[in-house]
Amino acid sequence: MLKAWGCNREGNTIKAAAIGALLGFGTNGFCVLMSVLMGDIKLSYFGFNPAILLGFLFVVFIQSAAEEITDRLYLYQKLRRRYKSPLIAILVNPVVFMLVHVFNDGFTILAGVQIVLIGIIFSLIVYYYNSLWAAMCFHTLWNYTQNIIFGLPNSGAVSEYSIFKLEAASATSGFFYDVGFGVEGSIGSTLVLAVVLAAILFINRGNGEKRDYWADAAIDAGYERE
């Protein structure tokens, strides 16, 4: 597990982390933009303080990275060790990830589906690219963009500080926004993530797992993995 966490030439690189961050910002930012253009929400400029924003980025990274370490490192790797089929690790840990959010304010079935979907995306990033770092940065910028930049609910929770503020009275549930859960509970954002998932699967069609650490360990120990 420590090997899956540390720097490696295959996926845990600064470049991969940057790509993950851009995906997080781009996908969430697109959903917010569509929410504004479709009239679901109105945002007003609140303020910009670089020191505070960097501090929040650090805090959000700790929170998001902790979830990725729990689900896409510990649980994912434990399941890969226990079961021969990688599908068990790829599909089960996102369900556990979703269950952690069940009691968040505004949780809906659609929000649960989307959390499972994005959990599968993070798992595939680990599976195809061996990049926990990319998953961590994707997760961080997804949360940071909606919560700290645009002041929208992050899984139902709203930050007291953000660059923009939501005019709450103007918010309505629409294709890209859910009043209770934010963009994460909408049909539109679910479809955006479905497109990202489909793109990852298409780009990697015919490819297998980038690296199976437990198979490597078995070979190093002189026996075949069960």
> pLDDT value at position 222?
54
pLDDT number for residue 220: 61
| Neighbour tally for 71: CB within 10 Å | 24
Check if the beta carbon of residue 140 is closer than 8 Å to that of residue 64: yes
For 145, which DSSP code?
Answer: I
Question: How is 50-78 classified by DSSP, letter by letter?
Answer: HHHHHHHHHHHHHHHHHHHIIIIIIIHHH
Q: Which residues of the chain have pLDDT under 70?
A: 218-226
In the chain, the largest separation of any two C-alpha atoms, in whole Å, equals 65
Per-residue pLDDT at 10 = 85
Measured CA to CA, the distance from residue 99 to residue 199 in angstroms comes to: 26
Cβ neighbours for 105, distance < 8 A, ≥ 6 positions apart: 153, 156, 157, 180, 181
> How does pLDDT run across 111-157, given as a tens digit for each residue?
999 999 999 999 999 999 999 999 999 999 999 999 999 999 887 77
Residues near 70 by Cβ (< 8 Å), separated by ≥ 6? none
**Exposure b/e, 168-186, CB count within 10 A at least 16 = b:** eeebeebebbbeebbbbbb
